[in-house]
Amino acid sequence: MGSEDRYHKTFTVSWEQIQRDCKALAWRLLDRKWERIIGIARGGLIPAAIMARELDVKLVDTVCISSYTMKRQGELQIIKNIDTSSKGEGWLIVDDLVDTGKTAKVVREMFPEARFATVYAKPEGKPYVDTYVTEVSQDTWILFPWDAEAQYSDPISMRKD
């Protein structure tokens, strides 16, 4: 199924909204002191930074996995892993979104004892994460502020579509 068939709605997230949602996620994770936060690059980098601040975690690392080219999800490629023998006890894995769960499944296998938190979750991916803030439908494309820019838009009365 192509991206044109897969996504029927768009959910636009502003910088303010992602910060509010990350803070809401942090509130759900105050049950322990986290040793390390692992942000899944690239989408999880900004949420991981916000979470590190809110949870007072000084050690932040990344796992880099490539799966998307624009709206197409393809083959997973592990670009950067963490050189450790740890299974992730006391670690918090953070990503912006769990979609199909393919990336989450790979990261879960790397660090089976870590807690996995995402800001947004879709039904297919929910079983792979422990905590999330907002569920969106599977056919929704989430447009994050780091993937968008403000630009001029004609008034509705002037549009021909």
Phi, psi of 103 (to 5 degrees): -65, -45
Q: Which of 5, 56, 83, 99 is catalytic?
A: 99
Q: How far apart are CA 65 and CA 30, in angstroms?
A: 27
Task: Report how many helices (DSSP H) and strands (DSSP E) the chain contains, helices first.
Answer: 4, 8
Q: Which CATH architecture has domain 10-146?
A: 3-Layer(aba) Sandwich (3.40)
Alpha carbon 12 to its chain centroid, in Å, reads 14
The candidate with the shortest Cα–Cα distance to 92, out of 20, 158, 39, is 39
Q: In this model, does residue 161 exceed pLDDT 70? A: no
Q: How far apart are CA 3 and CA 123, in angstroms?
A: 17
Q: In this model, does residue 72 exceed pLDDT 80? A: no
| Cα first-last separation, the chain | 27
On whether the CB atoms of residues 91 and 34 are closer than 8 A, the answer is yes
H helix or E strand, kind and range, residue 4: helix 3-6
107, 110, 113, 114 alpha-carbon torsion, rounded to 10°: -40
The C-alpha angle with vertex 24 and arms to 116 and 28, in degrees rounded to 5, equals 50
Q: Which two tokens stand for residue 130?
A: 């422990």
Q: Which of 95, 130, 147, 154 is catalytic?
A: 95
For the chain, which residues make up each domain, given as ranges? 10-146
Q: In this model, does residue 47 exceed pLDDT 60? A: yes
Per the annotation, the verdict on 154 as an active-site residue is no
Of 54-68, 72-86, 142-156, least confident by mean pLDDT is: 72-86
What pLDDT does residue 151 have?
A: 82
Per the annotation, the verdict on 161 as an active-site residue is no
**pLDDT tens-digit map of 101-153:** 999 999 999 999 999 999 999 999 999 999 999 999 999 999 999 988 888 88
Query: What's the pLDDT band for 71 if we cut at 50, 70, 90?
Result: low
Q: What is the mean pLDDT of residues 30-43?
A: 96
H helix or E strand, kind and range, residue 83: none
Q: Which two tokens stand for residue 24?
A: 């809401």
Per the annotation, the verdict on 99 as an active-site residue is yes
Q: Which of 5, 31, 83, 96 is catalytic?
A: 96
